[in-house]
Amino acid sequence: MKRKIGVALCVLGVLLAVFGIVWITVIWPSLAKVPADLDQETIQQGTVTLYDAQSDAYVTYNVTNSRHYLAVKASEDIVYLDETITYTNTATDQEIPSVHANYFLGIDRVTRKNVEGRGDGIGGGNFSFPFSVDKNEIYPWWNEGNPENLECKYVDETDYEGVHVYIFEMSTPEGGLATPAGFLPPDLQIYQPAMRIDQNIRLYVEPVSGVTVYFESTTKRSGEIPVQDELFPATGSLSYKEVTFYEDNLTFTQDTIDDLVSQAKSAKTQVALAKMLPWLCIGGGIVLVVVGVFLARKSSQAALPPEAEVTGGSQPG
């Protein structure tokens, strides 16, 4: 009986160890990927100031800003996202189409980085944080409309909404980022003058899950516009005037924060269990095999006949 139990324990131990190895090499890598059916929306709130060329004045709106990410296609390694950005004037509940935007993104499902040549994002720039955020790592980050990636750096850590978070910041260089003049895709009907972009972003990220639970951003796009001579508009020489085309100050709404904190807490628990499970299986499997071998050997030894007692004297010749 002990031998049967020992054999059963050995088999069960081997199966557990194999399951642990399969989990590490096959199951966990698939779980750690960006979902192929991602459908997520975050809402920011704050202010947007726009330059009105007709009145030569600035107009400030209190707004909500929706960023909706929808997976439209996925391969083993890349997920393709349609990102739709809309702004709504909270005073009138009317959208502000002049600042809407749409992007097509090709994201590496493991690293969360934009894949070069697979979308509008700049290759190597993060779309979001990966699992197991490293505070000693500088993450290159692509933000919509920027001509190059920014360096996202760890600056501090704290507790926020019941979650321990790392605080990361990124900002444009002292001279800003320069975008050349040109016509905007997709229809190439809108002409955009050369602009300077100044931006500063602060993120709170739960480090195990990589979920960003808080976001605040200021972005300013400025440039020069031609100004006609007041006395001789048709024949006079043009001068140029510095204006700010767009300026925002945005942060997550409380509803979005609550939703992301809930996601972070749930994901943190799941990630911790997912990382612990295979090693428990492998360790438990090894223990079961050792116990099984011990029981089997003990049973075999008990089944052997007693050895014949060796007496003294010489053997008969």
* DSSP secondary structure letters along the chain: -HHHHHHHHHHHHHHHHHHHHHIIIIIHHHHTSPPTT-EEEEEEEEEEEEEETTTTEEEEEEEEEEEEEEEEEE-SSEEEEEEEEEEEETTTTEE-GGG-EEEEEEEETTT-BBPTTSSSSPTT-BSS--SS--TTSPEEE--TT-SS-EEEEEEEEEEETTEEEEEEEEE--TT-EEE--EEETTT--EEE--EEEEEEEEEEEETTTTEEEEEEEEEEEEEEEEE--SS-TTTSPPEEEEEEEEEEEEEE-HHHHHHHHHHHHHHHHHHHHHHHHHHHHHHHHHHHHHHHHHHHHHHHHHHSPPPPPPPSSPPP-
Output the pLDDT for position 308: 43
CA gap 68, 219 in Å, rounded: 19
- In the prediction, which pLDDT does 234 show? 67
For residues 153 and 184, the answer to whether their CB atoms sit within 8 Å is no
Query: Is 284's pLDDT higher than 70?
Result: yes
pTM of the model: 0.78
Of 173, 219, 179, 215, whose CA–CA distance to 199 is shortest?
Answer: 219
Quick one: pLDDT at residue 290? 77
Q: pLDDT of 132-147, one tens digit each?
A: 899 999 999 999 989 9
Q: Looking at domain 35-229+238-252, does it have CATH number 2.60.40? A: no
Q: How big is the CA angle at 91 (ends 87 and 93), to the nearest 5 degrees? A: 55
For residue 18, the model assigns a pLDDT of 76
- Pick the residue with more confidence: 61 or 20? 61
Token pair recorded at residue 179:
């975008």
Q: What is the pLDDT of residue 122?
A: 92
Report the DSSP pairing between strands 195-206 and 211-227: antiparallel
pLDDT tens readout for residues 41-75: 999 999 999 999 889 999 999 999 999 999 999 99
Averaged pLDDT for residues 35-40: 93
- pLDDT given for residue 121 in this prediction: 92
pLDDT average, residue stretch 192-198: 88
> What is the reported pLDDT for 316?
47
User: pLDDT tens digit string along 204-233?
Assistant: 999 999 999 999 999 999 998 877 767 666
pLDDT at residue 314 tops 50 = no
Cα 201 from Cα 184, distance rounded (Å): 25
Q: Does pLDDT of 13 surpass 80?
A: no
Query: What pLDDT sits at residue 31?
Result: 64
